[in-house]
Each structure stands twice: as structure tokens, then as C-alpha cells.
Amino acid sequence: MQEVKDFKPTIVAFCCNWCSYAGADLAGSSRLSYPADVKIIRVPCSGRVNPMFILKAFERGADGVIICGCHPGDCHYSTGNYYTRRRLALLYSMLDYMGIERGRTRVEWVSAAEGVKFSTVMNKFVEDIRALGECVKLGDIRCKD
């Protein structure tokens, strides 16, 4: 799909409280910009992200969903991010089946000290989602207000 210049995607970012949310805070206090399309939801752990939340986001019109957690081995709760990784690998195949492009869901590990990485990841993700364009696959079942 052709990139539309004024396309403002809706992007939901789930960030774990201990690493990535703090990383996002650091990006903020370091004034490292990324597009305003990204909106962050704080969760205690990336392992708290139920695939239902991601499906709900797409159903409600999200164009991209990104899940950020502590680096493997560094999870505040020891193992949460390992579950995230495996769980989302399964979800990808389901999203494929539903016709939602693979690139619209992403998992990234961002530590509390990686403000720069947070900003870079978000800039790249938004760029990729803009290239993919609006997510319309779930349009017919999407709840209309």
C-alpha cells in the first residue's frame, strides 16, 4: 500500500512498569521525540498482556500494537517476558490467519536505561505502520459507536 503522507495511525504500546515504561519516561526526560500516534498503556509486566487486548485493539481500529518488556533474563518477575515471547509467537499465526499483517504487531525489549532505544523503536514502528497504511481487515466486524 502506498504511504499516505497525512495518515495518522493509531498505535497502542503496552509497556511493562519496570523496564519499558521507565525507558519511555527516560525518552521523555531526555526529550527524544517519536510520533504522537503512539499511546502507552502501563502494565505490570509484558506477561500481563493478554492476546485478547491486542485483538481488542485491532477490533477497535488500532493500526499497530507494540508490546515492550524487559530484556530476556532481566524480567522483574523473572520469567514474565519469556511467556510474552512464546504467547505472541502463537498470536502472530492467528493474526496472519485473520489477515492482519505480521508487521502490525511487534515485541521489543527496552530496559529502563534505554530511552534512546525506546524512541528509535517507536519511530521505526510508526514508520512501518505508516507504510502499511490503515488496518482495515477487521473493519466489517468492528464495533461502531
Of these, 20, 21, 95, 121, which contacts other proteins (CB under 8 A)?
21
Residue 11: strand pairing partners = 38, 64
Q: Please give the residues from 112 up to 141 whose contact with other proteins meets the rule CB under 8 A.
A: 112-114, 119
Alpha-carbon distance of 91 to 86, in angstroms, equals 9
Of these, 18, 95, 129, 130, which contacts other proteins (CB under 8 A)?
18
Q: Check residue 67 and give left, alpha or beta (phi > 0: left; psi -120 to 50: alpha).
A: beta
Task: Output DSSP code: residue 68.
Answer: E
The region of 25-33, 89-97, 100-108, 125-133 touching other proteins under the rule CB under 8 A is 25-33
Contact status: 49 vs other proteins (CB under 8 A)? yes
Q: Please give the residues from 88 up to 117 whose contact with other proteins meets the rule CB under 8 A.
A: 111-114
Q: For residue 91, what is its C-alpha cell?
A: 498470536
Contact status: 50 vs other proteins (CB under 8 A)? yes
In single-letter form, the type of residue at position 62 comes to A
